[in-house]
Structures are given as structure tokens and as C-alpha cells.
Amino acid sequence: MIEGFAFLITVRFILYKLFLFYGTKILDELSITAIFSKCLTDRFEKFAYVMIHPYMLSLSS
């Protein structure tokens, strides 16, 4: 039990160090900011459709 716990901590520490070393390169390659901004844009479009669309319908009638 304790050995497994120590193993998990060690693996997480190694992954954390690898992420610090390679993280910026990987993030640049994946362009996380582009993916994140697309998610935000999609959410805003859904929000705008749900909130503004009924208002526009009431104006048009």
C-alpha cells in the first residue's frame, strides 16, 4: 500500500518535471490557446443564441 503510494508520487513528480521541461513546446505545438478560445467562442454563441434569440423573435413579431 505504502509502496504504491510512493510510486504514484514519484510518477507524478517525474511527469511534472517533464511537463515543466517540455510543456511549453507541447503547448505551442497543440496551440492550446486556440482550442481554448474556440471553446469560449462556442459557449458564447450558445449563450447568445439562448439569451438574445428570443428577444430578437419578440422584436420581429
Query: Which of the two residues, 58 and 7, has the higher pLDDT score?
Result: 7
What nine digits make up the cell of 40?
469560449
Look at residue 17 in the predicted model and tell me its pLDDT: 76
Cα separation, 57 vs 61, whole angstroms: 6
Distances (CA, A) of 26 to 4, 17, 43, 56: 29, 14, 25, 43
pTM of model > 0.75:
no
Look at residue 35 in the predicted model and tell me its pLDDT: 64
**Residues 47-61: what's their mean pLDDT?**
64
Cα separation, 47 vs 35, whole angstroms: 18
